Chain A
Amino acid sequence: MSMKNIENNNETYRPLIVAFCCNWCSYAGADLAGNNRLAYPADVKIIRVPCSCRVNPTFILRAFQRGADGVIICGCHPGDCHYTSGNYYTRRRMSLMFSMLDYLGIERERTRVEWVSAAEGAKFAATMNDFCETVAKLGKNKRLEDLRCKQ
């Protein structure tokens, strides 16, 4: 799904997406997507982290608090972590964290983990397009918002 379609469906609302990308794979993947002129929405704000396992669950909640409508964490494919095993820990942590958010009634589609290698520029763009579209359909983040940050 291209960026254009999202704009057509939601003329006024564009979701804010925070993407935590690991330095070694996914950030390079984003770079490759750019070099290859693959379009993905500018609503995706990338935060570079040394490893996907650097992402503390607090970061996710803080992102929602500060206005994110969706949070995606991208790292090296399991087995390919630059630090050998960081993404394996990410996988466990985020499984539990997302399950807990779901348990509290917060839409599970707002959070996602994807493994994107440095060679997968196309996958990066496709993932972001798909995630933006999913979050756009859900609408604004209401259940984990902090009204003080919205005006």
Chain B
Amino acid sequence: MQAVTREILINKAAELLGNGTVDRVFGWKKGEFSYDVTPALFTTREAMDADFVFGDFCGANFSKYLVAETRKEGKVLVFLKPCDTYSFNQLLTEHRFDREKVYVVGIPCSGMLDTVKIKAVAEGIASVEDNGDRVTVHSLFDGDVTVSRNDMLPDRCKNCKSKKHVAYDELIGEDGEVIDSGRFDEVEKLEKMTPDERFAFWQNELSRCIRCNACRDVCPACTCEKCVFDNPDSGVENKAAANSFEEKMFHIIRAFHVAGRCTDCGECSRVCPQHIPLHLLNRKFIKDINEFYGDYQAGAEVGSRAPLVNYTADDPEPAEAVERSHHDA
């Protein structure tokens, strides 16, 4: 269950709207079902009372929206979970939005539920009730099913890297700590496979890609105004996605382009309609960077120099580096 409630957030927003600190609020709007939540703008308390929600399905990372929001007049209030604040800092580091036009209220997070996992529990979801460490799914036809809340968390929340807010103007509740998570366990598992097994694994995963670009469009590190894959003149635009090469091309290049800038927020895997574990590509880069060039967490502080625009004279040679990251030899 989330530590803050909808009422606390509405009160805070109303206060900031009332005293003129902000002109609008970026929040979550309720939809048709309990898991159906859309990012939306609110400008009045009445609108928030009617439609604002906060709960277990507010997983969307709002940082990227600030690029567009801060191009408008006035100041926007945004509620950020700890992981969102890393993306926030990373975007600031890259000068992607005007800090002065944002008021950040940091909110604690106890992990957001995975809609896919919830839907696997029951057919026809009437509502979802969070009782702390248990979650009860009310089905339209089959009665209730109660499951462990932890089992309903997506990988990114199970392996949460930090409960600490690295950016905020104001904090609701206590700040948390950076967590020593097991987020590289899956990557290690893959590293230990033989090349043939790894190839088969990724071939199977990436073959499901439908090139909808959701991973790219949701990614807070993907903020190019014009993506190379959308540019017919780039020579690599591959809308036809005619074979497995093009899938690999897209995902390798995308992961490489955000390497050193990806904060590991996990939005890519959340939005993938085909459930491809895309975060495992990004985490491989993060793990390699940590091992080759020392620990680095993108977004931990504003203005840090990303590892790929940095170097030292005694960096490992590529052959040596690949060997080092290799566990099956």
Known: A97-B256, A146-B243. A103 touches B200 (CB 8 A): no
A40 in contact (CB, < 8 A):
no
A-B contact count (CB 8 A): 118
Q: Name the B residues within 8 Å of A99 (CB-CB).
A: 284, 288, 321-322, 325
Whole-angstrom CA separation of A148 from B292 in the bound complex: 37
With both chains docked as a complex, state the minimum distance between the C-beta of A76 and any C-beta of chain B, in angstroms.
14
**Interface size in chain A (residues, C-beta < 8 A):** 37
Interface residue A27 (Cβ < 8 Å from any Cβ of B): no
A101–B198 CA distance with the chains assembled, in angstroms:
10
- Who on chain A is nearest to B197 by CB? A105
Please, which residues of chain A bring their CB within 8 A of the CB of B317? Answer: 91, 95, 113
Which one of A96, A105, A147 lies within 8 Å of B195 (CB-CB)? A105
Q: Is B184 an interface residue (CB 8 A)?
A: no
CB distance A94 to B198 under 8 Å?
A: no
CB of B311 within 8 A of CB of A89, answer yes
B190 is an interface residue with CB less than 8 A from chain A? yes
Residue of A nearest to B187 (CB): A103
- A130 contacts partner chain B, Cβ-Cβ < 8 Å: no
| Complex contact A112–B319 (CB within 8 A) | yes
Q: Decide yes or no whether B196 CB sits under 8 A from chain A.
A: yes
Q: Could you say which interface size class chain B belongs to?
A: 35 or more
Identify the closest chain B residue to A85 (Cβ): B311
Complex formed: what's the CA distance from A61 to B246 in Å? 10
Given A95-B292, A102-B326, decide whether A113 and B318 contact each other with a Cβ distance below 8 A.
Answer: yes
* Any B CB within 8 A of the CB of A93: yes
How many Å lie between the Cα of A150 and that of B48 in the bound state? 59
A35 located at the interface, meaning its Cβ lies under 8 Å from any Cβ of chain B in the complex: no
State whether A100 touches B284 (Cβ < 8 A): yes
Within 8 A of A (CB), among B240-298: 242-243, 245-246, 248-249, 252-253, 255-256, 259, 281, 284-285, 288-289, 292-293
Q: Smallest CB-CB separation from B255: which chain A residue?
A: A100
Is there a chain A Cβ closer than 8 Å to B31's Cβ? Answer: no
Does residue A126 face the partner (Cβ distance < 8 Å to B)? Answer: no
Shortest 7 CB-CB distances between A and B: which pairs?
Answer: A105-B199, A88-B311, A105-B198, A95-B321, A146-B245, A95-B318, A113-B318
Q: Could you pull out 23 A-B pairs where Cβ atoms are within 8 angstroms?
A: A57-B252, A58-B228, A58-B249, A62-B235, A78-B313, A92-B310, A95-B322, A96-B288, A96-B321, A99-B284, A99-B325, A100-B252, A102-B195, A103-B284, A104-B252, A105-B198, A105-B200, A106-B195, A112-B318, A112-B319, A113-B318, A113-B319, A148-B242
Give Cα distance in the complex from A57 to B253, angstroms: 7
**Which of A95, A98, A103 is most buried by chain B, counting CB atoms within 10 A of its CB?**
A103
- How close is A144's CB to chain B, nearest CB, in angstroms? 7
Q: How far is the CA of A145 from the CA of B288 in the complex (A)?
A: 26
Q: Does A65 contact B (CB under 8 A)?
A: yes
Q: Is the CB of A92 within 8 A of B255?
A: no
Tell me whether A108 is interfacial, beta carbon within 8 Å.
yes
Q: Are A96 and B259 in contact (CB under 8 A)?
A: yes
User: Contact: A65 with B308, CB < 8 Å?
Assistant: no
B196 to chain A, nearest CB (A): 7
Q: How far is the CA of A96 from the CA of B315 in the complex (A)?
A: 12
Contacts of A54 in B (CB 8 A): none
CB-CB < 8 A to A78: which residues of B? 313
* A37 on interface, CB distance cutoff 8 Å: no
Taking a contact as CB atoms under 8 Å apart, the answer to whether A57 and B256 are in contact is yes
List residues of chain A with CB within 8 A of the CB of B293: 92
**Which single residue of chain B is at the shortest CB-CB distance from A97?**
B256
Asked if residues B315 and A100 are in contact (CB atoms below 8 Å), the reply is no
Q: Which of A23-40 contact B (CB under 8 A)?
A: none
CA–CA, A89 and B305, complex, Å: 13
CA distance A3 to B12 in the complex (A): 75
Q: Are B292 and A147 in contact (CB under 8 A)?
A: no
Q: Determine if B179 is an interface residue (Cβ-Cβ < 8 Å).
A: no
Q: In the complex, which of the residues A92, A98, A113, A144 has the most CB atoms of chain B within 10 Å of its own CB atom?
A: A92
Q: A57-B253, A96-B256 are in contact. Are A88 and B313 (CB under 8 A)?
A: yes
CA distance A141 to B116 in the complex (A): 37
Q: Which of A61, A94, A111 contacts B249 (CB 8 A)?
A: A61
Contacting pair A105 B201 (CB below 8 A) = yes
> Known interface pairs A65-B249, A96-B288, A102-B322. Does A89 touch B308 (Cβ–Cβ under 8 Å)?
yes
Residues of A within 8 A of B256 (CB): 57, 96-97, 100
Please tell me if B220 contacts chain A, counting CB pairs below 8 Å.
no
